[in-house]
Structure 1
Amino acid sequence: MSADRAHMAQMQLRLPLKQETSRRAADLEVSTSNAVAAEALEDWPSEPGSIMALYGPAGSGKSHMAAAWVERVGAIALHGEEAAWCDPLELEGRPVLLEEAEGADDEALFHLINLTQSGGGALLMVSRDPPASWMVRLPDLKSRLNAVRTIAVEVPDDVILAAMLKRSFAARNIVPGEGVIEYLVRRIDRSAQSAEMIVDRLDMYHRPVTRVLARQVLEGDFTAGLS
């Protein structure tokens, strides 16, 4: 076998085996950075026609909280532009999640808000910025967004980031060594994306995930992991 083919075969063996990262309500960790949002969603909506928005930086865990809410109340989950394609009759009277809500068409979002309030459903919007700051053209929509109850989700603290790392490892059937998660929490960016990225990189080496390997990967010493 040629050197190139041997290298390709070696790399194929190192493809990571990953399951979907869990976003179940049972796996949701609550700490300082998301406690206000978790409490707000715990028994929401308590009355028909309710609208609420979760906002916060990318990777802060908003989508996991929203997915847990969808699981609890049986909501219909939409993303941004999908709001323009849905049949209003399917949404009337139902709880609805709209992720990436700031990307929804103005007209579609306006009608969805009206449908929620007149049809007795509920609407949970998720975005990076609060609704009052969204760039919208319709004055009536702007006034509706200004009146929406908004809850901030902060950058993940140590507890939440550690939980994100644990879920990422579990999705790949990896049991990290002692102190690995604590070591990573102190050194990676505070987001779900960073947790996924570092676990993906560690998984590539198909070696026990120890603090030594974690340090080598973080410092860019990739050849040590492949030896």
Structure 2
Amino acid sequence: MNRQLGLDLPSHTALERDAFFIAPSNAVAVAMIDSWQAWAGGKLVLTGPHGSGKTHLVHVWAKMSGARIIAAQDLDLAAVPALATGPVAVEDVPQIAGDDAAETALFHLHNLVLAEGHALLVTGTAPVPHWGLTLPDLTSRLRGTTAAALEPPDDTLLSALLVKLLADRQLTPKPDLVPYLLGRMDRSFAAAIDIVERLDAASLALKRPVTRALASQVLDNAP
């Protein structure tokens, strides 16, 4: 059922495999996820800017492999043995840069997961050399890991992302909205996420449907 005007219904982020739109900018990363059992050394680094689909692909992989997903900031050395009993995905590793305890936990998790014959997936925004990790042994192991990058989007991918983000919020705009947004927004995942959030908020606040006219008003009043 579509959102009724003025009702602040919760959004639902679709994380299923068939909800991920494949384009030239992400095809290599998707292929690496699909062929996870052939990862060199049993591990992969997945990188890409905010909103590029890293978390979506992590959930796709977790469903395929039976992996557990954990945020890097939630890592604890005492929990490593339990985590290492199967495949593991660790998200947003750069966020623990300089945290000795968390980096040490990830180092031991890396070693134990692989020693047990399971697969490890780690994510970050930029390539590993820019993660700012301070534990030399961890840094060397991650730098030696095969990496797959989600590249900046083309218009086709941005269009699909806008449609998905709107659908996640139970919004069904007219066909002219997405082409209009593409002509005025920055070409980035973050910009797509931002404009949909602002459109949704404006629609609720003004009790108006999400139309090209509303989009024009929101974009003209952008900070």
Q: TM-score, normalised by structure 1?
A: 0.82
Please tell me whether the aligned partners of residues 49 and 189 of structure 2 are also in contact (alpha carbons under 8 angstroms): no
1:141 maps to 2:138 = yes
1:205-224 to 2 correspondence within 5 Å? 205=203, 206-220=207-221
Q: Could you say which residue in structure 2 is the equivalent of 1:61?
A: 53
The structure 2 residue matched to 1:186, chosen from 183, 186, 191, is 183
**Given that residues 75 and 97 in structure 1 are in contact (C-alpha distance below 8 angstroms), is that contact kept between their aligned partners in structure 2?**
yes
> Quick check: 1:176–1:210 contact (8 Å CA) kept in 2?
yes
CA distance in 1, matches of 2:25, 2:122: 19
Paired residues for 1:49-198 under 5 Å: 50-84=42-76, 87-104=79-96, 105-198=102-195
In structure 2, relative to structure 1, the CA distance for the partners of 1:107 and 1:84 (3 Å cut) is same
Change (3 A) 1:132 1:197: closer
Q: What code does the residue aligned with 1:181 have? A: V
Identity among equivalent positions (%) equals 38
Q: Residue in 1 aligned with 2:99?
A: none
Match of 2:138, as an amino acid?
A: L
Q: How far, CA to CA, are the matches of 2:78 and 2:156 in structure 1?
A: 38
Among residues 33, 38, 46, which one is paired with 2:38 in the alignment? Answer: 46
In the alignment, structure 2 segments of 5+ residues that lack a partner are 97-101
Aligned 8 A contact 1:83 1:112 in 2? no
Which is greater in Rg?
1
User: Is contact 1:165–1:181 with CA below 8 Å preserved after alignment?
Assistant: yes
1:192 Cα deviation from its structure 2 partner? 4.1
Aligned residues: 209
Q: In 2, Cα distance between the equivalents of 1:125 and 1:35? A: 18
SS where residue 117 of structure 1 aligns?
Answer: helix
SS of residue in 2 equivalent to 1:45: helix
Secondary structure of the equivalent of 1:186?
A: helix
Residues 49/149 of structure 1: CA separation in 2 closer, same or farther (3 Å cut): closer
Question: Compared with structure 1, are the counterparts of its residues 92 and 15 closer, same or farther at alpha carbon in structure 2 (3 Å cutoff)?
Answer: same
Distance 1:29 1:119, change over 3 A: same
Q: CA deviation at 1:34?
A: 0.6
1:16-55 aligned at under 5 Å gives the runs 16-46=8-38, 50-55=42-47
TM-score (normalizing by structure 2): 0.83
